[in-house]
Structure 1
Amino acid sequence: MTKLRDTLRRVGLNTFFLLLIGMIFLAKIFPEWGTADSPLPLKAITGAGISIIFFFYGVKLSPQKLWEGLANWKLHIVVQATTFLIFPLVVLLFYAFFGEEGSYLWLGTFYLAALPSTVSSSVVMVSIAGGNLPAAIFNASISSMVGIFITPIWMDIMLPETSVSFDLTDTFIKLSFQVLFPVIIGLLLHHRLIGFVNKYQTALKNFDQGIILLIVFTAFAESFAEDMFAGQSTWALIGLSVLMLVFFGFMLVLMYFISVGFRFSREDTITVMFCGSKKSLVQGAVMGRVMFPDPVVFGVILLPLMIYHALQLMAGSALAQRLGENKK
């Protein structure tokens, strides 16, 4: 049990997770502080913070390691295909049988399916489980950059069927200035600033988490202010949590059998399972802030991702720990 707690703490399911939950409660109690009428310029702060986050994310990327990682191309194609193709198609299949037309929760579920993989927890879990660590680092990094383009395209396909307005060109422009360009600039400055990043990585991590907390607070505050959750019962949220857990388990099993079909090694199979099943709360929050300009709607759309984020950390950590022990 101690090992599991240590694993959960390493992948981020600790104080930050509790603060995320706390932000929802604060937004419920003080919704006016997160709205456009707030005396604090929270939107301007989060906008600047997002660019800073991705600038330093670019600094962390090693051009040499990215280039070396191209060799295992078959593994990379499978991971990226599961992340950006199979995931959304599975949700669309579920939606065809169980979906509720016009539901923002279903739209949020599709949004999380279209998101890139998370970097930190994917790499940590692959390492614990005894997988192919260099391939995990490569795929998690590439996924984050590819997602800047693929996720908006998926949402452009999906959103015309809903009442949510969406402009693909405008989204690409905003994401380019706020996310892509900072990543590229950071990547170009990797050799100059990587020492600074390594020295202050704890402070930078706290900054990242602080910006995400602000995004979550403002999104939910707007939604609470407009009573967007009025029609959602406790049982509906429990049902959504169960659905997210089943979804996560289903994708893990599916990716395992895909890896078996490609005759991947144990190490590569673990990499496919963990890199392909994770979804990034960080990118989901920052990209969603651009793609869903109506903050009232965004709070509801973000809810499935937050639930999935928590479940993927808990269930994924337990599985990684078991696989690591079996290897020994």
Structure 2
Amino acid sequence: MALPRFAPDHFTLALVGTVVLASLLPASGPMARVLEVATTGVVSLLFFLHGAKLSRQAILGGLGHWRLHLSIFAATFALFPLLGWALRPVLEPLVTPEMYLGVLFLCTLPATVQSAIAFTAMARGNMPAAVCSASASTLLGIVVTPILVGLVLGRSAEGGSVLGAISKISLQLLLPFIVGHLLRPLIGGFIHRHAKRVKLVDQGSILLVVYSAFSAAVVSGLWRETPLPALAGLLVLCAVLLTLVLTLTTWGARALGFAKEDEITLVFCGSKKSLISGVPMAKVLFASSTVGAIVLPLMIFHQLQLMVCAVLAQRYARRPEHPATQPA
């Protein structure tokens, strides 16, 4: 009965299939260069659509709970990097050095928007605050992630400065997002009516970027240099990291006296890491030959967070509906 809750979703299966395809038939030479231009375009389109989908009313509705937002941002941009750095002596031997760089990169990323909001809704949490925090996390990550990469990984963007990386990421992600949001009054209705097609664009964009990243990594010898025990170790490492963050955000919410709805929002928004933001950022911040190994931990963590949080959200949803009795 519990098995379906832990089964991979269709998008995860598509991700696995994309990695297999890139491993067997990697793009190289002129095709790789064409693919690089195409991925830049589709990622910009992806963030344009995200900006157009985002309701300004939903964001403004959740702005007031500043203690909750600060707690979520602290979990996303402080707790994760600190755990990745502190656990390095213990966990790095489980994987290759390149993989652990990917784990540290994962720790610097912003929260994901869709799944954080979806799980908060499923668990009957504070939805306006979840929309506000998850959306703000995505935008903050454009500036904060390159800075954290420099601090935590001890390196700046490939071939440039942190400021250069922020500028490049802003042009590729932030500018389309802002333009899409400004055009929301004109195209928001169309996007809402064609939500399923927009979702296909979302997922197709990520699959194309993943194929491009893994193609470059495979051509550079990713699988020749990645032993099977390291893949098993990476799964254990991601599980440990997720468990610690879920536990600490739960304890933190209760120590701060948050209502149960706010606890849910902190747990689901503070424990997520964005695949949609992470893959294009990795392509800007790291050399093409290393991006595959860098995003591999993110892909595994992404699936783990979906499976575990789906079960956790169902558990929260079964609680009695007496919000007035929860601690203030």
TM-score normalised by structure 1 residue count: 0.91
Separation (CA, whole Å) in 2 of partners of 1:153 and 1:247? 21
* 1:197 counterpart residue number: 191
Matched, 1:14 2:18: no
* 1:28 counterpart residue number: 23
Alignment CA distance shift 1:192-1:162 (3 Å): closer
Matched, 1:53 2:46: yes
Please, what is the CA RMSD of the aligned residues?
A: 2.2
Note the 1:284-299 alignment, pairs <5 A: 284-292=278-286, 294-299=287-292
Q: Give the alignment partner of residue 294 of structure 2, picking from 290, 301, 318.
A: 301
Alignment CA distance shift 1:171-1:36 (3 Å): farther
Contact 2:149 2:155 in 1 (8 A): no
The share of aligned pairs that are identical, in percent, is 36
Matched, 1:211 2:211: no
Separation (CA, whole Å) in 1 of partners of 2:303 and 2:14? 12
Contact 1:159 1:165 in 2 (8 A): no
Contact 1:229 1:300 in 2 (8 A): no
Q: Give the alignment partner of residue 81 of structure 1, picking from 74, 97, 115.
A: 74
* 2:244 counterpart residue number: 250
- How far residue 160 of structure 1 moved from its aligned partner, in angstroms, is 3.5
Q: Give the alignment partner of residue 158 of structure 1, picking from 152, 170, 174.
A: 152
SS of equivalent to 2:31: coil
179-188 vs 227-236, which deviates more? 227-236
151-160 vs 202-211, which deviates more? 151-160
* 1:99 counterpart residue number: 92
Alignment CA distance shift 1:152-1:241 (3 Å): same
Alignment CA distance shift 1:171-1:47 (3 Å): same
Alignment CA distance shift 1:209-1:51 (3 Å): same
Aligned residue identity for 2:63: L
Separation (CA, whole Å) in 2 of partners of 1:73 and 1:211? 33
Aligned residue identity for 1:201: A
Contact 1:102 1:163 in 2 (8 A): no
Contact 2:62 2:130 in 1 (8 A): no
Q: Give the alignment partner of residue 215 of structure 2, picking from 196, 216, 221.
A: 221
* 1:317 counterpart residue number: 310
- How far residue 40 of structure 1 moved from its aligned partner, in angstroms, is 7.4
* 1:126 counterpart residue number: 120
Contact 1:83 1:117 in 2 (8 A): yes
* 2:224 counterpart residue number: 230
* 1:139 counterpart residue number: 133
Contact 2:96 2:226 in 1 (8 A): no
Contact 1:102 1:162 in 2 (8 A): no
Separation (CA, whole Å) in 2 of partners of 1:79 and 1:73? 10
Aligned residue identity for 1:262: L
- How far residue 8 of structure 1 moved from its aligned partner, in angstroms, is 7.3
Separation (CA, whole Å) in 2 of partners of 1:195 and 1:109? 39
Separation (CA, whole Å) in 2 of partners of 1:173 and 1:8? 39
TM-score normalised by structure 2 residue count: 0.91
Question: Where does structure 1 differ by over 4 angstroms across 4 or more consecutive aligned residues?
Answer: 161-166
Structure 1: give runs of 5+ residues left out of the alignment.
none
- How far residue 54 of structure 1 moved from its aligned partner, in angstroms, is 0.7
